[in-house]
Chains A and B, each alone.
Chain A
Amino acid sequence: MDAMTPQTRRTLEFVLDNLVWFMLLAVLVVFSAFVPNYFQPGIFANIIEASSVLGVMSIGLALVVIAGHMDLSVESVAALSAMAVGILFCSAGIGIGVDLQPEWLAVPVSLFIALGVGAAVGLLNGFLIVRWKVNAFIVTLASYIWVRGLVLALSGGRSAQDLAPAIRWFGTQRLGIDLPGFTFTVPLTAWLAILCFVVFSFIMAKTPFGRHLMMIGGNETATFRAGIKVNKLLIISFVMAGAIAGLAGWLLSIRTSGATANLGTGLLFNAFAAVVIGGVSLKGGVGALPGVYAGVLLLSSINTAINLMGLPATSTQVIHGLLVLAAVLLDTFKQTLRQKLA
């Protein structure tokens, strides 16, 4: 043992465990200082608002990655759910404009459909992976492709517009502090994303289900030997990832007031970036959801800065790529440091 006191060690571990929050803070401070017009409530509200779809999608991805698996299909699943909602509840384009009475009924029904579509794909993924022992990467890559194909086939490449006003309401209502001279409000969709993070953070940290997923990600053999129903839990986690992706699709359709065939393209890689930056190890068994939310906010903060600085949007991709690389290197570095601590 070296001369490190338990106190410094605990501090160091705390910093390592919450590194992404410190990074977010640093990034916000730097941008606020150097990017003109960055430091204002409206910008921060915007960052949170822009994080909702990606944030929700990242939750589902994080669940299966923590359990030691992989779900590449979340982006396409979100698109399929959005398209289902779009076709059913849009009145223009390919939308058939289902008219429910009373009007508000469209909200729960569309949400239920979005979740259901996602859960169905998740169930198929989970079943193939667990029962047929097919590699999760391959199964969900296939889903990533065929589900997007289904979206294209359903839409015929066209789009649905003019989402039912009752559903749109979620995208337009804002909630927050609204005082004279100081306004900080974000739309209900963003609150929904935050609520999801709170609920799933709680599930992962405080319930046997979350604990078991974590342990499966750490050592699947050991959990099996201990009598934990590994297969059942893994299938549930894939169903959850699918359903959550469906929710992301629902939010996506609200944001765009409809659905297009290429809706959400590229979200998968941002979700992976957020999950990895958020401290979830792709090896499984490591990571927590609050960190993932910080990762999403970090990406969103950087996007906002790029916009404000008037840099070409293409530079966003380069920066995201570098950020993911940095996150993976950081993960390796953290592991080495932890081994030294041990």
Chain B
Amino acid sequence: MSQFAPLLELVDIRKNYGAIEALKGISFSIGKGEVVALLGDNGAGKSTLVKIISGGLEPTSGRMVFDGRDYEARSPSEAKAAGIETVYQDLSLCTNVDVVANFFMGRELTRKVLGIPVLDEKAMEDVVAKALSSAGTRIPSLRAKVETLSGGQRQAIELNRFVHWGGKLVLLDEPFAALGVDQTRRGLEMIRRVAAQGIGVVIITHIMQQAFQVADRIVVIRQGLVAGNIETRNTSPDEVIGMITGEQLAVAGAAG
């Protein structure tokens, strides 16, 4: 059994495109503070599943329970309001303004001067500094325009913003595809810290090594079904590859 309190539970999620069954009944759950790596070959149904969770697609049948309540998102903004978001690199940042402006996008703190709302830059900067430092993220200058920051730093800003504004479950689609070795290492650390705050994290990746470095549990989707759902410490890369490809391993678990 999982040591995590349940956050999102998927119950028999199916999705048909005409006669084609993309998802044939997916059931698994994600706990609070748990990092789940979602693995599977191309076309296995991972992205369909992610879109259903984040409001981009509606399932044909099945149900979801999120934070103890029935959950159904008809649009990404509904999912976001519920506390579920897909974080894409760059898509949700304005690189032409600074870190603070991005962090408070659409939620700016103001003070009234002669009845006119004026941006309270000092207060906002303090909040961002606090949020980033408590998450262990280091950004050279909060007043630097985001376009001058690295891919990893941008991702850190997005994740921290998500956490700060009450996000509960974050979906990361190939989060490290564009990052270097060192940035990836820091990104993985950041995911652990985000999870440590009780936030559920689903990462979709092709890189087995990353899944094993960061995930508490690995869920393998194969041909629209859950082919494996196992705690990371109880499995091995070879076994997971077997689940992905569907081949039986003659010597599974025998080595070592």
Does the CB pair B148–A207 fall under 8 Å? Answer: no
**A128 part of interface (Cβ distance < 8 Å):** no
Binding-face segment, A19-27, A146-154, A220-228, A254-262? A220-228
**A218 part of interface (Cβ distance < 8 Å):** yes
Does the CB pair A338–B148 fall under 8 Å? Answer: yes
Binding-face segment, A208-216, A294-302, A316-324? A208-216
Name the residue on B nearest A284 (C-beta).
Answer: B96
Does the CB pair A215–B97 fall under 8 Å? Answer: yes
* Given A211-B101, A342-B148: A225 touches B119 (CB 8 Å cut-off): no
Chain A residues with Cβ under 8 A from B94's Cβ?
214-215, 218-219, 222-223, 285
**A217 part of interface (Cβ distance < 8 Å):** yes
Q: How far is the CB of B97 from chain A (nearest CB, A)?
A: 6
Chain B residues with Cβ under 8 A from A211's Cβ?
97, 101, 108, 119
Q: How far is the CB of B163 from chain A (nearest CB, A)?
A: 15
Does the CB pair A225–B108 fall under 8 Å? Answer: no
Name the residue on A nearest B149 (C-beta).
Answer: A342
Task: Identify which of A207, A219, A286 gathers the most chain B CB atoms within 10 Å of its CB.
Answer: A219
**B249 part of interface (Cβ distance < 8 Å):** no
Interface string of A304-342 (1 = CB under 8 A from B): 000000000000000000000000000000000010011
Does the CB pair B95–A218 fall under 8 Å? Answer: yes
Chain B residues with Cβ under 8 A from A206's Cβ?
118-119
Chain A residues with Cβ under 8 A from B119's Cβ?
206-208, 211
Name the residue on A nearest B93 (C-beta).
Answer: A222
Does the CB pair A286–B105 fall under 8 Å? Answer: no
List CB contacts (< 8 Å) of A255-285 with chain B.
Answer: 285
* Given A206-B118, A208-B108, A226-B105: A218 touches B148 (CB 8 Å cut-off): no
Does the CB pair B91–A221 fall under 8 Å? Answer: yes
Chain B residues with Cβ under 8 A from A228's Cβ?
105-106
Chain B residues with Cβ under 8 A from A286's Cβ?
96
30 A-B Cβ contacts within 8 A? A206-B119, A207-B110, A207-B116, A208-B108, A208-B117, A211-B97, A211-B108, A214-B94, A214-B97, A215-B97, A215-B101, A215-B105, A217-B96, A218-B96, A219-B93, A219-B94, A219-B95, A222-B94, A222-B105, A223-B94, A223-B106, A225-B77, A226-B105, A226-B106, A228-B105, A228-B106, A285-B97, A338-B147, A342-B147, A342-B148
B contact set with A: CB distance below 8 Å: 76-77, 80, 91-97, 101, 105-108, 110, 116-119, 147-149
A contact set with B: CB distance below 8 Å: 206-208, 211-212, 214-215, 217-219, 221-223, 225-228, 285-286, 338, 341-342
| With A206-B119, A285-B94, A342-B148 already in contact, 4 other A-B pairs whose C-beta atoms are closer than 8 Å | A207-B116, A218-B95, A338-B148, A341-B148
